[in-house]
A and B are shown apart, each in its own frame.
Chain A
Amino acid sequence: DVKVTQSSRYLVKRTGEKVFLECVQDMDHENMFWYRQDPGLGLRLIYFSYDVKMKEKGDIPEGYSVSREKKERFSLILESASTNQTSMYLCASSLWANYYEQYFGPGTRLTVT
């Protein structure tokens, strides 16, 4: 059974803190993605990676960075958390060839106070 896991289901951080969200997939997928999901705005792409150490900006990369040192692991970093980054964060992965079939993790609900 394919699996994408995220390091935390719920996270509460203070404004200005550095936040790390980790994602691991066990399917040997080339592509990995970070989205945030907000009511009224849907799923928005923050960053994605199509190979180790490769990354591309999505639609809303401001305030975020990513790291992919190993094929199975993709990290999202909030350098200095702000209250407008309170959201549900979803990680996904896919094969390069079948990119339309993305497998999602369960999400991390991040609250920044």
Chain B
Amino acid sequence: QKEVEQDPGPLSVPEGAIVSLNCTYSNSAFQYFMWYRQYSRKGPELLMYTYSSGNKEDGRFTAQVDKSSKYISLFIRDSQPSDSATYLCAMSAETSGSRLTFGEGTQLTVNP
């Protein structure tokens, strides 16, 4: 069983929709939770990170962490065609040094 599970999609939504992307994990030592965005033929780039539980908002993006359920989410409000990309969740424990464990990634298409 993978430490981090993420539905690979693909997910297709109309412009303006609210998008929910999710990951579950099994390692209770994970403390840092990240979302990376990867456009086609590019490397991933960090979108948001959260330490421990709670919510974090940045413009149209909201990251949520529920450690009791081992579940993290990324919400995108008023989705735009420019949001079309693969979204990867990543996690890290304080004891794992600089290593991140990535989910498989969810491919999102926002249709105009």
Which A residues lie at the B interface, using CB under 8 A? 4, 31, 33, 40-45, 48, 50, 56, 58, 90, 92, 94, 96, 99-107
- The complex places the Cα of A43 from the Cα of B32 at a distance, in Å, of 17
Residues of chain B touching chain A, judged by Cβ–Cβ distance below 8 Å, are 6, 8, 32, 34, 41-46, 49, 88, 90, 92, 97-100, 102-105
Residues of B within 8 A of A42 (CB): 6, 88, 102-105
- Closest Cβ of chain A to B37, distance in Å, is 11
Instruction: Report the tally of A-B residue pairs with Cβ distances under 8 A.
Output: 58
The secondary structure that dominates the B interface is loop
Point out the residue from B45, B99, B103 that lies within 8 Å of A45, measured CB to CB.
B99
Closest to A30 in B: B98
Given A40-B104, A42-B105, also A48-B46 (CB < 8 A) = no
CB nearest to B8 among chain A residues: A40
- The residue in B41, B42, B90, B100 that gathers the most chain A C-beta atoms within 10 A of its C-beta is B100
